[in-house]
Structure 1
């Protein structure tokens, strides 16, 4: 309340709107214009329309917030901040759930606010957003202030070095590649189809290899991963693990066979946010803690959780704290810890660094490298091409539900973004137009 009185407004990563109220009601929630002590709805709608027009957006002040897209809801939060005559607006990871078009619209609104003299404190771990928006960049690491760079001094190497505490050259680390002569097929996928998007997908994944699935959104990467894991029904296709045919029709069978899967949506499909970190880590191995009479060995579970927290550097005050209290990076580490407790032979990672800060990304990359070094086969889905190139040994590119091609590195010739994008967009086949 004191901050608001001083002209400071905060827009949090998790939006705090009431979906069953109108845009105008949300904008003035708790600060409604009144006439003779009664909420003046006409004035509320008029003032809301004026703020919406100031932002240059088109939705109605009378529309229910539940009918708006995530991007439009983000703009309602900004409108709420302006309704309090804010001169400083703090935005915490505002593009986390936005599409690229919604992100572009948000950036246009931010430019409008800057032109009106409003200061923006923009919190983000996305480098491209920092370069596009910031006049100055201040870096925090481990709850401490590291330094500030002017826009003219910004470069990737210096910024990442400040964020993770070491040079960019050490950000991606790949020491695990086994010699070709020692490679053994861990997982063989043949003719995988789902009767819809996916069509006859086949590939081999080797022990100790990081194989990336790249492609545009909607190309079928996650769908293929879910078929392999048994989360969705396949209409055709065969799997072999360590040279032996396996029939997987459910995630439970996949886990029992030694295949683990990290979902791309940790909050909706991965974590139990209201349960403890310990319970989340142990969720995949509850049978290990079963005692006679159906009782659970909580001591063993807590010991296992404590070790995982130490091994993965999960920052928490206690293993009994709720998973929902953690940062995005630490939540992702909890999911990885749960996955590793099942002692998998094959690990499928779907967007493993989505929504985590640069420091947590670096730690996850080191973990991936360590797992591959232990001979675990890793199938990684990522939409970030620098990540694909920095982490993967080999890249399969998907387009329209099929594997469009493979990109490999050789001595003196690293993986190239251009090759991946040509396959992902079809430019490699189409060639130049005449």
Structure 2
């Protein structure tokens, strides 16, 4: 009998113009965590989708429990005992937590009707296991991204799986939620369940993994016992070279000119932000840190016209402006790259050109009100090349790109609109270390050109390594500011808990 519960041998997969997988082998032992690593575009998610039946491989074989399998769709995979938590959340937002967890597998009662009482009770037990204490009848639309991620984890473990694939499962979780996930993983291991764990967080990988496999450019690089690996060794295997610094050298010059000032911004929601004030200078990167629930995103959405204000003023270059909708923000040369690419960032079925041009379509209208495609394509091509987006061509659907390249296309969208102020909400969430460096370099270059950047991030190293100045929020209020030269993890965390006696949900990196 094989020592492996799963063996993927010589797997190949080709998309038009791209060989996504080239003779890849991967083996998983039962009762272990096997980390699958590589830069965005390395082929990790494609390999797992071939296993899960989402993609049909062009070559190679898959052995599961010692028998060759060829799943035609995800249902066959789930029924066989393989569950997957996808990197990009795709919940049905207008359905309840319970309905999402049991989607396609509803418990039935009399007359073959859904037994809602049983479904809700089983959902409540699953939610308790992942530390999410919510009513099973709560709509997904009312949850935060981190809560939706927890629901996905509950859904994955509900199928009595023998193999669980976790693709970036902690990208939106707090520290306490991550710890709860690790407890769940230990329980799964004790039941001899194999875990395939895809993450770019080195500390997590080195902490929980038993084995580590690295892929690069669609090819297998190697597999090592996790205890033999270090962060430096993993990065070198991923990028093919040593990455001596995680952050580019700062080259921007901060002007004395104040391009944005917020005065006493307060939400009508008593649980949201209140009395928020700050300034932003030309060429400055202002990082915003805080714990989950600090209302960082909500404040920026209000600045962008996505949320109403009870009181407060917004000044652009000293002049008060009224921003009641995103169109007003765009008119005032403000751009927003949202946190959740899949939900409110990209148009998945549209091309790179469509996605990169949509914010500035009026600039491409020519005679007779017709779209000047030549002009539009020129601007898009210029920005896609500038940001080094990896794609066969700009007519490719954006959903086929890696997360890092999708993020670059969204940046290209706003660069085409030539904003003065660029708000980036978790700009590197779910992006690998190499692509992160490229995003950091883009941020640095834009600031050096005189753009003013506001960056919300939940990664402490990113907050300290990219920002010129840091604003920390706590429970909807601005807790304080720290200059780059004096900011430390301790000083940030002190401000992040300034207005609370104890943080019940645990703390995450800020």
The runs of at least 4 consecutive aligned structure 1 residues that moved more than 6 Å come to 15-25, 55-59, 63-69, 427-430
Q: Which residues of 2 match residues 5-404 of structure 1 at below 5 A?
A: 5-6=67-68, 9=82, 11-13=84-86, 26=104, 70=148, 71-80=150-159, 82=161, 86=162, 88-96=163-171, 103-165=178-240, 167-178=242-253, 182-195=255-268, 196=270, 197-404=272-479
User: C-alpha separation between the residues in 2 aligned to 1:372 and 1:57?
Assistant: 41
User: Which residue of the partner structure matches residue 417 of structure 1?
Assistant: 489
CA distance 1:429–1:302, shift in 2 (3 Å)? same
CA distance 1:89–1:393, shift in 2 (3 Å)? same
For each residue in 1:262-303, what CA deviation from the matched residue of structure 2 results, as whole angstroms up to 9, or x when unmatched?
Answer: 111222222112222111100011011112222111222222
Report SS of the residue matched to 1:237.
strand
CA distance 1:149–1:368, shift in 2 (3 Å)? farther
CA distance 1:116–1:283, shift in 2 (3 Å)? same
Is the contact between residue 26 and residue 80 of structure 1 (CA under 8 Å) also seen in structure 2?
no
Is the contact between residue 11 and residue 78 of structure 1 (CA under 8 Å) also seen in structure 2?
no
1:126 CA drift (Å): 2.3
CA distance 1:381–1:56, shift in 2 (3 Å)? closer
Q: Which runs of 5+ in 2 are unaligned?
A: 1-52, 54-61, 69-79, 503-510
Report SS of the residue matched to 1:178.
coil
CA distance 1:57–1:95, shift in 2 (3 Å)? closer
CA distance 1:246–1:23, shift in 2 (3 Å)? closer
Is the contact between residue 27 and residue 79 of structure 1 (CA under 8 Å) also seen in structure 2?
no
For each residue in 1:8-56, what CA deviation from the matched residue of structure 2 results, as whole angstroms up to 9, or x when unmatched?
Answer: 8352516799989797785699xxxxxxxxx9x9xxx9xxx9xx99x97
User: C-alpha separation between the residues in 2 aligned to 1:242 and 1:80?
Assistant: 56
Report SS of the residue matched to 1:223.
helix
TM-score (norm 1): 0.80
1:390 CA drift (Å): 0.7
Q: Which runs of 5+ in 1 are unaligned?
A: 30-38
Q: Which moved more, 1:281-290 or 1:14-23?
A: 14-23
User: C-alpha separation between the residues in 2 aligned to 1:158 and 1:208?
Assistant: 35
CA distance 1:149–1:373, shift in 2 (3 Å)? farther
For each residue in 1:176-198, what CA deviation from the matched residue of structure 2 results, as whole angstroms up to 9, or x when unmatched?
Answer: 2426xx53222122221223322
For each residue in 1:185-213, what CA deviation from the matched residue of structure 2 results, as whole angstroms up to 9, or x when unmatched?
Answer: 22122221223322222111111111111
User: C-alpha separation between the residues in 2 aligned to 1:89 and 1:74?
Assistant: 10
User: C-alpha separation between the residues in 2 aligned to 1:162 and 1:383?
Assistant: 26
CA distance 1:25–1:301, shift in 2 (3 Å)? closer
Is the contact between residue 190 and residue 201 of structure 1 (CA under 8 Å) also seen in structure 2?
yes
TM-score (norm 2): 0.69
User: C-alpha separation between the residues in 2 aligned to 1:274 and 1:205?
Assistant: 36
Is the contact between residue 21 and residue 65 of structure 1 (CA under 8 Å) also seen in structure 2?
no
CA distance 1:64–1:257, shift in 2 (3 Å)? closer
Superposed CA RMSD in Å reads 3.7
CA distance 1:219–1:106, shift in 2 (3 Å)? closer
For each residue in 1:221-243, what CA deviation from the matched residue of structure 2 results, as whole angstroms up to 9, or x when unmatched?
Answer: 11221222222222222222233
Bigger helix fraction? 1
Q: Which moved more, 1:88-97 or 1:287-296?
A: 88-97
CA distance 1:238–1:80, shift in 2 (3 Å)? same
1:145 CA drift (Å): 3.6
| Larger CA Rg, structure 1 vs 2 | 1
Report SS of the residue matched to 2:153.
helix
